[in-house]
Chains A and B, each alone.
Chain A
Amino acid sequence: MTKILTGNELLSGAVVYLDADGRWVEELQAARVYEKDDEAAYEAALAAAKASGRVISLEDEDVEIIEGVITPSRTRAQIRAGGPTAPKFDRQHLGEDEHVSL
Chain B
Amino acid sequence: MYRYDEFDAAFVNERVAQFSDQVRRRIAGELTEDQFRPLRLMNGLYLQLHAYMLRVAVPYGTLSSKQMRMLGHIARKYDRGYGHFTTRQNIQYNWPKLRDIPAILAHLASVEMHAIQTSGNCIRNVTTDQFAGAAADEIIDPRPVAEIIRQWSSIHPEFTFLPRKFKIAITGAPNDRAAVKFHDIGLMAQTNGAGDVGWAVYVGGGLGRTPMVGKLINGFVPHEHLLAYLESILRVYNRYGRRDNKYKARIKILVHEEGLENIKGQVEDEFSHIRGGVLTLPDAELDRINSYFAQPAYVDHGVVSVDVEREKILDPAYGRFLENNTFPHARSGYTSITVSLKPIGGAPGDATAEQMEAVADIAEKYSFDELRVTHEQNLVLPHVAIADLRAVYDALGEAGLADANAGEITDMITCPGLDFCALANARSIPIAQDISRRFAAPERAKEIGKLKIKISGCINACGHHHVGHIGILGVEKKGTELYQITVGGDGTEDAAVGKILGPGFVADEVPGAIERLVDAYIARRTTEDETFIAAYRRLGDAPFKEALYGNG
Contact of B419 with A13 in the complex, beta carbons under 8 Å = no
Q: Which residues of B contact A91 (CB under 8 A)?
A: 50
Q: What is the CB-to-nearest-CB distance from B280 to chain A, in angstroms, rounded to a whole number?
A: 46
Contact of B47 with A75 in the complex, beta carbons under 8 Å = no
Does B295 touch A at the CB level, under 8 Å?
A: no
Does A5 touch B at the CB level, under 8 Å?
A: no
Contact of A76 with B97 in the complex, beta carbons under 8 Å = no
Contact of B427 with A12 in the complex, beta carbons under 8 Å = no
Q: Which residues of B contact A75 (CB under 8 A)?
A: 418, 426-427, 476, 479-481
CA A57 to CA B80, docked complex, whole Å: 23
With A85-B427, A95-B97 as given contacts, are A56 and B49 in contact (CB-CB < 8 Å)? no
Q: Which residues of A contact B439 (CB under 8 A)?
A: none
Contact of B99 with A11 in the complex, beta carbons under 8 Å = yes
CA A8 to CA B51, docked complex, whole Å: 7
Interface of A is mostly: loop
Q: Which residues of B contact A11 (CB under 8 A)?
A: 27, 97-99
Interface size class of B (residues with CB under 8 A): 20 to 34
CA A12 to CA B159, docked complex, whole Å: 32
Q: Which residues of A contact B420 (CB under 8 A)?
A: 84
Nearest residue (CB) in B for A50 is B33
Q: Which residues of B contact A83 (CB under 8 A)?
A: 50
Nearest residue (CB) in A for B416 is A84
Q: What is the CB-to-nearest-CB distance from A59 to chain B, in angstroms, rounded to a whole number?
A: 10
Nearest residue (CB) in A for B429 is A86
Does A15 touch B at the CB level, under 8 Å?
A: yes
CA A79 to CA B421, docked complex, whole Å: 11
Partner of A86, one of B32, B48, B424, B427: B427
Q: What is the CB-to-nearest-CB distance from B80 to chain A, in angstroms, rounded to a whole number?
A: 7
Partner of B419, one of A8, A56, A86, A92: A86
Produce 1/0 per residue, A38-81, CB < 8 A to B: 00000000000000010011000000000000000111100110
Q: Which residues of A contact B47 (CB under 8 A)?
A: 8, 13, 56-57
Q: Which residues of A contact B505 (CB under 8 A)?
A: none
Q: Which residues of B contact A57 (CB under 8 A)?
A: 47, 422
Q: Which residues of B contact A13 (CB under 8 A)?
A: 47-48, 50-52, 96-98
Nearest residue (CB) in B for A87 is B347
Q: Which residues of B contact A76 (CB under 8 A)?
A: 49, 418, 424
CA A75 to CA B425, docked complex, whole Å: 9
Does B89 touch A at the CB level, under 8 Å?
A: no
Q: What is the CB-to-nearest-CB distance from A10 to chain B, in angstroms, rounded to a whole number?
A: 6
Contact of A92 with B95 in the complex, beta carbons under 8 Å = yes
Partner of B50, one of A10, A56, A92: A92
With A87-B350, A87-B429 as given contacts, are A10 and B98 in contact (CB-CB < 8 Å)? yes
Q: What is the CB-to-nearest-CB distance from B351 to chain A, in angstroms, rounded to a whole number?
A: 12
Q: Which residues of A contact B347 (CB under 8 A)?
A: 86-87
Q: What is the CB-to-nearest-CB distance from A46 to chain B, in angstroms, rounded to a whole number?
A: 14
Produce 1/0 per residue, B415-454, CB < 8 A to A: 0001110101011011001000000000000000000000
Q: Which residues of chain B from 71 to 91 have a CB within 8 Å of any chain A CB?
A: 80
Does B277 touch A at the CB level, under 8 Å?
A: no
Does A14 touch B at the CB level, under 8 Å?
A: yes
With A13-B98, A75-B480, A85-B430 as given contacts, are A80 and B32 in contact (CB-CB < 8 Å)? no
Produce 1/0 per residue, B1-36, CB < 8 A to A: 000000000000000000000000011010011000
Q: Which residues of A contact B95 (CB under 8 A)?
A: 92
Nearest residue (CB) in A for B50 is A92
CA A56 to CA B29, docked complex, whole Å: 13
CA A91 to CA B51, docked complex, whole Å: 8
CA A10 to CA B479, docked complex, whole Å: 29
With A80-B49, A87-B429 as given contacts, are A10 and B419 in contact (CB-CB < 8 Å)? no
Q: Which residues of B contact A86 (CB under 8 A)?
A: 347, 419, 427, 429-430, 433
Q: Which residues of chain B from 303 to 326 have a CB within 8 Å of any chain A CB?
A: none
Q: Which residues of B contact A73 (CB under 8 A)?
A: 479
With A76-B418, A86-B419, A92-B95 as given contacts, are A12 and B27 in contact (CB-CB < 8 Å)? no
CA A13 to CA B418, docked complex, whole Å: 17
Task: For the A-B complex with A13-B97, A13-B98, A57-B422 known, give 6 more contacts whose Cβ atoms are closer than 8 Å.
Answer: A10-B27, A11-B97, A11-B98, A13-B50, A76-B49, A91-B50
11 residue pairs from A and B, CB less than 8 Å apart: A10-B98, A11-B98, A13-B51, A53-B32, A57-B422, A75-B427, A76-B418, A80-B49, A86-B427, A87-B429, A92-B50
Q: Which residues of A contact B (CB under 8 A)?
A: 8, 10-15, 53, 56-57, 73-76, 79-80, 83-87, 89, 91-92, 95
